[in-house]
C-alpha cells in the first residue's frame, strides 16, 4: 500500500473546489461564494479522518455531488452548500441545530430531508416504503432535496467499481428501480440516461460490454453518415436565416438493449441507433413556428414515418419536456430520429426542473410539472394510505407513459398510459369521480373500466345516488382515484357498520345474549374480523349467517368448564381457532382472485403473516413473507412480477351466483327485486336480464355473494314477493 501524500490531497481538494466555483460562477455572487467556502471548510474538517472504499479522501464525494448539482442540474448556492454538507449530520458529530445556527433554517431543512433518506432500501420492506414516503414529503416541500439526492446517487454510480459485487448489484438495482425513473419524471434526461446505462453496466455487465463494443466499432461509420445526412439540412436552414446548431448522438446502451428485447432482434437489426438534434435560437414568440418550419425542411429531404411523429411542442410532457420528434428514412434505408427544439426547450430537457423553474420565474407559461408535484402532495396527505400501497401507487405514476385526453369543452387533461374512464372522472374532480355513473368516449357509452387512448374526448355522466364500489379499485390506475375510492369506501363501511351493530344486537338478543364489550371482543376473534368496524360491516352485509351466530352463542354458553377455560386462554375454543386457521387460503390482486400457488421455502409464511406473491418463470406463483430476506431484491428487480396477496377465510371469498327467476309480470316488480338485493342485502348486481311475454316474466340475475348460506337468505327474501313463482340458483368462484 502506497503512503498517503497529504500535501497532494490538499492540492486536489483545492483544485476540485476551484472547478466547483467555475461551474456556478453565473449563479453566485460574493456573498454566496463565502457561504460555499464556509460549507467546504466545515465538510473538510468533519470528514478529515474518513476515506472512501477507493482509498481517496471522503471529502472528494461531497465536492463531486456539489459539482453535479451546480453544473449538470444548474442548482444555485443554497443547493451547493447543502450538497457539500449532505453527509455531515449523518456521519459526523455535527447536528441539525449546528447547521441551522451556521447556515439558517432553509439549509437545515434540506439537510434534514437528505439525512432522512440515506437508507431508503433497508432490509425491512415496510421501513423501505416509509423512508421513501419521507423522501417524497421533502419533494412536496422542497424539490431540491430530491435533486441533490439524485446528484449523490449519480456520483455513487460513477464510482461503483470500488464496491463489492453484492453491493454493486444492490445499488444498481435500486437505481434502475427508482432513481432513474424519478430523474426521468423530473425532466433530467441526461442524468436519467447515465443512471440507466450505469445500472445496466453493473446488473448485466456482459450485455453492457457487448453493446458498448458494437457502438465503438461503428462510431466512425456513424459519424460519416450523420455528416452526410445533415449537410443538405444545414444548407437549407442557413438559406432560411435561422440561427441553429446540429448535433448527432447515439442512443443510450440501455435503450438499445430495451429495443433488442422488445423487438426480439440483435444489435445489427436496430435501425435507429442514433438521433440528430437540431436546436434553434428563437424568441419565445416564434419558437413553435420555427420548430415546425425546420420539420418541414427535414421532411422535404427525407420521408418521415407518420406513426413516429411526437409533438411535445404543442403539448409538453408532465415533466416540462418540449420537443418535436420525427423518424425519417435516410440513405441506404436507415431510419434516423430527428429531434427539433429551441434553446430554451433544450435547456429544460437537459437540466429538468431547475431550468423549468428558471424560465417560469421569467414569466413563461405555467408548467404541468408543478401540477404533478401538487398531486404527490395530495397523495402524501391521505392519512389512510398504507406505506407499501403508497410506493406501489407512486411507482405507477413514475413508470407509465402519458396520454392526452380532452373534456367536452376541449380542455386537455394528462393521464398515465393505461388509465381508464373512471380515472378521468377523478381527474376532473373528486366529486365527479365518486358520483360517476357512466362515461361517454367520443360520443359512445363505455364501461368505467374502458382504457383511454390519446386524443379521446370524454364526457362523464354523474348521479347524486351513485356511490363508489369496491370493484372500482380493480380497474382504477391513478393514485388519486385509488386513494379517493378507498377513503369513500371506508366512510361507507362505517355507515353500514352502524346498521350492522343494530343487527348484531337484535340477533344476539333473540338468542338471549347481550352485546357487551367483552362479547364484541370475542366476536372479533371468533369471526377473525380485525376491528369492530370490520365485524359490524360483516353483520351489515350479511356475510355472517344465522347458523354461524348460533354456533358462536353455543360455544360461549359452553358450561362452567368452558367459561373457566375462556378466562384463562381467551374466549375462542382452540379447536375452532385451529379449524379457522386451516380454512384460510391466499387470494391475489385487488379483486381477491383464487389462483394456484406454492409457499416459498426461504421464509415459510403462515396465516396472519404479511405476504406477497411472486410470479416465477418455472414454478408459477410463490408466496413470500413481506420481511423475507429476498423481498427487496425481488421487489427492486422484478416489480412487474409482484402480486398483491392476503390471507382470507374460505367462507369470505366472493362467489358469482346466477339466480333464475320466473313469475307473473306486474308494475314495480323489478323495483321490489332490486330493493331487496341492493338496499336490504347490500349485494352487488353484476348483470340482469329479464324478458316479459304476455304477462309472464323469466330472467336471470348475476350477483356477487359471500357463501351459500348468505345466498339462501337472499333467495328466501325474494321468494316472499307474491309475483315470483320459482327461483333456481347456481354459483361458482369469481
Task: Give the active site residues.
Answer: 90-91
Question: Beta 724-733 vs 684-693: how paired, if at all?
Answer: unpaired
**Phi/psi at 250 (5° precision):** -80, 155
Q: Which of these, 370, 369, 440, lies nearest to 187 by C-alpha position?
A: 369
Angstrom CA distances, 615 to 595, 625, 639, stand at 11, 14, 10
**Phi/psi at 700 (5° precision):** -135, 145
- State the SS3 of 234-260: HHHHHHCCCCEEEEEEECCHHHHHHHH
Q: Hunting for cell 449538470 — which residue is that?
A: 72
Distance CA 627, CA 603 (A): 8
Beta bridge partners of 692: 697
Distance CA 720, CA 73 (A): 73
**Phi/psi at 454 (5° precision):** -55, 135
The DSSP code for 621 is: E
Question: Beta 412-416 vs 244-250: how paired, if at all?
Answer: unpaired
Q: DSSP of 678-730, one letter per residue?
A: IIIT--EEEEEEEEEETTEEEEEEEEEES-HHHHHHHHHHHHTSTTEEEEEEE
CA–CA–CA angle 295, 298, 299 (5° rounding): 85
Q: DSSP of 298-321, one letter per residue?
A: HHHHSEE-GGG-EETTTS--TT--
Q: Hunting for cell 369521480 — which residue is that?
A: 433
Distance CA 117, CA 153 (A): 12
Amino acid at each position: 500500500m502506497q503512503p498517503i501524500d497529504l500535501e497532494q490531497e490538499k492540492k486536489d481538494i483545492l483544485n476540485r473546489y476551484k472547478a466547483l466555483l467555475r461551474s456556478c460562477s453565473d449563479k453566485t455572487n460574493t456573498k454566496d461564494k463565502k457561504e460555499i467556502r464556509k460549507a467546504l471548510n466545515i465538510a473538510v474538517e468533519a470528514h478529515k479522518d474518513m476515506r472512501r472504499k477507493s482509498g481517496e479522501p471522503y471529502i472528494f464525494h461531497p465536492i463531486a455531488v456539489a459539482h453535479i448539482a451546480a453544473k449538470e442540474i444548474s442548482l444555485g448556492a443554497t443547493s451547493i452548500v447543502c450538497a457539500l454538507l449532505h453527509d455531515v449530520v449523518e456521519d459526523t458529530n455535527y447536528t441539525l441545530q449546528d447547521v441551522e445556527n451556521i447556515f439558517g433554517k432553509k439549509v437545515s431543512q434540506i439537510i434534514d430531508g437528505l439525512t432522512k433518506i440515506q437508507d431508503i432500501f433497508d432490509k425491512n420492506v415496510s421501513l423501505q416504503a416509509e423512508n421513501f414516503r419521507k423522501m417524497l414529503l421533502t419533494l412536496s416541500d422542497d424539490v431540491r432535496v430530491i435533486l441533490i439526492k439524485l446528484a449523490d446517487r449519480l456520483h455513487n454510480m460513477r464510482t461503483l467499481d470500488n464496491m463489492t459485487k453484492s453491493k454493486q448489484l444492490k445499488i444498481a438495482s435500486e437505481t434502475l428501480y427508482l432513481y432513474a425513473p424519478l430523474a426521468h419524471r423530473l425532466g433530467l434526461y441526461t442524468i436519467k440516461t447515465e443512471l440507466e446505462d450505469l445500472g445496466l453496466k453493473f446488473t448485466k455487465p456482459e450485455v453492457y460490454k457487448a453493446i458498448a463494443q458494437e457502438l465503438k466499432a461503428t462510431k466512425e461509420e456513424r459519424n460519416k453518415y450523420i455528416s452526410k445526412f445533415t449537410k443538405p439540412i444545414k444548407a437549407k436552414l442557413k438559406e432560411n436565416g435561422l440561427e441553429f446548431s446540429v448535433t448527432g448522438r447515439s442512443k443510450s446502451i440501455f435503450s438499445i438493449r430495451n429495443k433488442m428485447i422488445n423487438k426480439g432482434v440483435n444489435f445489427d437489426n436496430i435501425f435507429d441507433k442514433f438521433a440528430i438534434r437540431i436546436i434553434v435560437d428563437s424568441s419565445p414568440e416564434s419558437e413553435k413556428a420555427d420548430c415546425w418550419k425546420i420539420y418541414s425542411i427535414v421532411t422535404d429531404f427525407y420521408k418521415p414515418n407518420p406513426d413516429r411523429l411526437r409533438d411535445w411542442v404543442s403539448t409538453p410532457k408532465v415533466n416540462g419536456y418540449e420537443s418535436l420528434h420525427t423518424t425519417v428514412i435516410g440513405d441506404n434505408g436507415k431510419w434516423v430520429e430527428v429531434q427539433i427544439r429551441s434553446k430554451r426547450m433544450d435547456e429544460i430537457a437537459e437540466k429538468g426542473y431547475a431550468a423549468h423553474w428558471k424560465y417560469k420565474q421569467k414569466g413563461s407559461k405555467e408548467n404541468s410539472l408543478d401540477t404533478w408535484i401538487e398531486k404527490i402532495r395530495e397523495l402524501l396527505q391521505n392519512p389512510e394510505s398504507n406505506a407499501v400501497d403508497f410506493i406501489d401507487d407512486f411507482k405507477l405514476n413514475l413508470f407509465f407513459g402519458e396520454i392526452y385526453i380532452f373534456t367536452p369543452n376541449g380542455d386537455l387533461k394528462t393521464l398515465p398510459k393505461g388509465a381508464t374512464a373512471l380515472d378521468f372522472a377523478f381527474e376532473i374532480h373528486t366529486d365527479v369521480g365518486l358520483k360517476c355513473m357512466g362515461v361517454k368516449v367520443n360520443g359512445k357509452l363505455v364501461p368505467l373500466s374502458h382504457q383511454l387512448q390519446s386524443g379521446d374526448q370524454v364526457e362523464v355522466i354523474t348521479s347524486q345516488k351513485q356511490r363508489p364500489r369496491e370493484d372500482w379499485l380493480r380497474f382504477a390506475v391513478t393514485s388519486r382515484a385509488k386513494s379517493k375510492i378507498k377513503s369513500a369506501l371506508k366512510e361507507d363501511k362505517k355507515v353500514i357498520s352502524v346498521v350492522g351493530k343494530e343487527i348484531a344486537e337484535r340477533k344476539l338478543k333473540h338468542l338471549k345474549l347481550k352485546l357487551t364489550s367483552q362479547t364484541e371482543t370475542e366476536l372479533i376473534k371468533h369471526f377473525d374480523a380485525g376491528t369492530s368496524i370490520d365485524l359490524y360491516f360483516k353483520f351489515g352485509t350479511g356475510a355472517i349467517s344465522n347458523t354461524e351466530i348460533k354456533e358462536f352463542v353455543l360455544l360461549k354458553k359452553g358450561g362452567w368448564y368452558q367459561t373457566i377455560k375462556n378466562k384463562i386462554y381467551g374466549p375462542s375454543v382452540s379447536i375452532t381457532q385451529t379449524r379457522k386457521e386451516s380454512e384460510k387460503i391466499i387470494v391475489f390482486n385487488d379483486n381477491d382472485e383464487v389462483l394456484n400457488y406454492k409457499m416459498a421455502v426461504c421464509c415459510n409464511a403462515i396465516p396472519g403473516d404479511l405476504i406477497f406473491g411472486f410470479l416465477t418463470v418455472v414454478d408459477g406463483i410463490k408466496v413470500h413473507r413481506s420481511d423475507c430476506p429476498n423481498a427487496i431484491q425481488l421487489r427492486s428487480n422484478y416489480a412487474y412480477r409482484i402480486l398483491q396477496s392476503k390471507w382470507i377465510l374460505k367462507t369470505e371469498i366472493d362467489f358469482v351466483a346466477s339466480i333464475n327467476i320466473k313469475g307473473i309480470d306486474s308494475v314495480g316488480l323489478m323495483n321490489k327485486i332490486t330493493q331487496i338485493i341492493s338496499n336490504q342485502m347490500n349485494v352487488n348486481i353484476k348483470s340482469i336480464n329479464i324478458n316479459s311475454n304476455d304477462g309472464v316474466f323469466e330472467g336471470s340475475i348475476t350477483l356477487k355473494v359471500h357463501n351459500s348460506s348468505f345466498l339462501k337468505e337472499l333467495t328466501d327474501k325474494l321468494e316472499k314477493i307474491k309475483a315470483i313463482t320459482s327461483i333456481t340458483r347456481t354459483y361458482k368462484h369469481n
